[in-house]
């Protein structure tokens, strides 16, 4: 029996997210039959480039991302939810989505190495100071660049991100198509050809994952991020680890199209993975987990009785 997970969820710490608490998302996950949820608050440095450094919400206000107290509060809130919902069969994981920028490698390395995440998701959101993942902010980028330049810019940065070795999985690997299609039409769907293949091989060699991000459907695209063609190339390159995520920024998007994403993994003969302490694991159902925990408890109890 396959396991329904959502490994890309933005609670109210992300400034572009609805003011929904971690606990509320966990309650929603139970209602949707989700067995494991991973919170992936944004850690972005792009706005810092523009002189705006308070881009996390914490304690009811905008908070300087470099004042790491917010991360302590974030972990505390996730830990409380994990304890509260464990008996209900919901597993709650500590994650983050980091918008990669090479100028901030030192800060990224500090965060991922000094804080106890289960899952670190990396994505390309800013290029040359433009937020390409924003419908509004991307306009000046796409309108002033050729398709060739977009491809070179994006895949060069993506390759650097993968080679940094700081991330567990790549978020929405073809995110340039989200709004780029409005400026370049269907030609944007071929942008990966000849560029992504060596990056996919590097991902495979590093035992990294690729997420199936379902948010593209609600934004009017025909396929998930990535497309089936890119998934096929990833499989050929030897990539085995895939996660599924709704990229929910509001409660109504939690779990969107996750079942369809799992169906697609089935089509390719692939498996849905989860992460624990930065290690990729095959998903197992809550009932199986509980069974194994009880089995281990019985074995330990038996050993203790013999020793006494």
Q: What is the pLDDT of residue 287?
A: 47
**Residue 291 confidence (pLDDT) above 50:** no
**Residue 172 confidence (pLDDT) above 90:** yes
The mean pLDDT value for 212-223 works out to 93
**Residue 181 confidence (pLDDT) above 60:** yes
The domain locations on the chain are 5-307
Burial of 65 (0-12, 13-18, 19+ CB in 10 A): buried
Which CATH number fits the domain 5-307, given the four candidates 3.40.50.1820, 3.20.20.140, 1.20.1250.20, 2.30.30.230?
Answer: 3.20.20.140
Q: Predicted confidence band at 106 (pLDDT cuts at 50, 70, 90)?
A: very high
**Residue 152 confidence (pLDDT) above 70:** yes
End-to-end CA distance of the chain: 40
For the chain, counts of helices (H) and of strands (E): 12, 13
Give residue-wise pLDDT tens across range 60-71.
Answer: 898 989 999 999
Q: How far is residue 14's CA from residue 42's CA, in Å, rounded to a whole number?
A: 5
**Residue 54 confidence (pLDDT) above 90:** no
- Evaluate whether 178 touches 221 at the Cβ level (below 8 Å): yes
Neighbours of 252 (CB within 10 A): 12
185: left (phi over 0), alpha (psi -120 to 50) or beta: left
The mean pLDDT value for 237-258 works out to 98
């Amino acid at each position: 029996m396959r396991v329904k997970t959502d490994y890309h969820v933005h609670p109210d710490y992300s400034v572009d997210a609805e003011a929904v608490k971690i606990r509320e998302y966990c309650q929603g996950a139970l209602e949707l039959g989700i067995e494991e949820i991973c919170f992936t608050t944004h850690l972005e440095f792009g706005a810092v480039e523009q002189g705006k450094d308070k881009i996390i919400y914490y304690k009811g206000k905008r908070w300087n991302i470099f004042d790491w107290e917010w991360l302590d509060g974030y972990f505390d809130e996730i830990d409380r939810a994990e304890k509260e919902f464990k008996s209900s069969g919901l597993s709650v994981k500590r994650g983050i989505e980091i918008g990669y920028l090479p100028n901030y490698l030192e800060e990224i390395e500090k965060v991922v190495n000094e804080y106890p995440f289960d899952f670190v998701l990396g994505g390309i959101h800013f290029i040359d100071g433009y937020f390409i993942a924003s419908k509004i902010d991307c306009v000046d980028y796409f309108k002033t660049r050729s398709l060739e330049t977009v491809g070179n810019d994006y895949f060069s940065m993506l390759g650097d991100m993968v080679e940094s070795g700081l991330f567990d999985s790549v978020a929405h690997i073809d995110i340039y198509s989200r709004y780029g299609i409005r400026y370049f039409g269907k030609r944007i769907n071929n942008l990966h050809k000849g560029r992504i293949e060596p990056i996919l091989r590097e991902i495979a060699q590093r035992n990294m994952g690729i997420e199936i991000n379902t948010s593209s459907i609600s934004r009017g695209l025909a396929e998930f991020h990535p497309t089936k063609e890119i998934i096929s190339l990833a499989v050929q390159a030897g990539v085995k680890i895939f996660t599924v995520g709704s990229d929910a920024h509001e409660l109504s998007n939690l779990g969107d199209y996750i079942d369809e994403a799992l169906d697609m993994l089935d089509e390719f003969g692939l498996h849905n993975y989860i992460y624990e302490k930065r290690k990729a694991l095959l998903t197992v159902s809550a009932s199986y987990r509980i069974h194994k925990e009880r089995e281990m408890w019985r074995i330990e109890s038996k050993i203790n009785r013999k020793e006494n």
